[in-house]
Each structure stands twice: as structure tokens, then as C-alpha cells.
Amino acid sequence: MRNKFGKRKWLFIPIFIAAILLFGAIVMGLWNAILPAVIGVKSISLWQALGILVLSKILFGGFHGGWRGRHGKERWMEMKQKFAAMTPEEREKLKEEWKSRCGTWKMRGQGSVETAE
């Protein structure tokens, strides 16, 4: 049985390149429409806009739907289940360990932040 995707795989490459160029054009358009008037920077070319996209991918982790990535919610749920299965003594030990690692965080004018149970 032949792979159905085999015939269409060559169509994917031009669509991928077109999407990258479209994102670059959107960045360039937004930059050139807003930033020169607001903060007085120069207009940019398409290549500079593509460079900004690459730089944002390197610095911020890019276009995968959030800062933590796809598996962040799964890890959060796993840790939540682990915490729920702990005894009260284990929870307190974990809290103290994290408190010693992170110190106390202060919110504006509210003192230290405590975890709710």
C-alpha cells in the first residue's frame, strides 16, 4: 500500500515557504505601520522582518502555542496528582523545601505569599 502523503509532500514545501514569507510580511507591515510613527524607528525590509521572527523564536521559544510548550499542561496535571496523593507531612516537607529554595515572595503591600490548601 502506497503512502497517501507521498503524492502531496511536494506541495507542502511551497506552502511552508509561502507561510514563512506571509508571517514576515505581516511583521514588516505592522512594524512599518506602527513603530516609525510611535517611537521613531526606521522602516524595515522583508528580510529584516524574517530576521526578527528568527530572533523571537530563539529568545522566546517561538510558535508552539505558549511559553511552556505543548506538554506544559500535562506536566502540571501530573504534579497536581502527585501533590494530591501526598500525606500532609510530605506536603509540608515539600513546601518547606521549596520555601528554602525560593525564599519568600512578597506581593505589593501584602507580606509573604502562602500556599492555600
Write out the chain's pLDDT in tens, 117 residues: 456 666 677 888 889 899 999 999 999 999 999 999 999 999 999 999 999 988 988 888 755 555 555 566 788 888 888 888 988 898 888 888 888 887 766 544 555 555 554
b/e string for 4-24 if b means 16 or more Cβ within 10 A?
eeeeeeeeeeeeeeeeeeeeb
Q: Where are the domains of the chain?
A: 8-60, 73-102
* 98, three cell numbers: 521549596
Statement: the pTM of the whole predicted model exceeds 0.75: no
Cα separation of 23 and 31, whole Å? 12
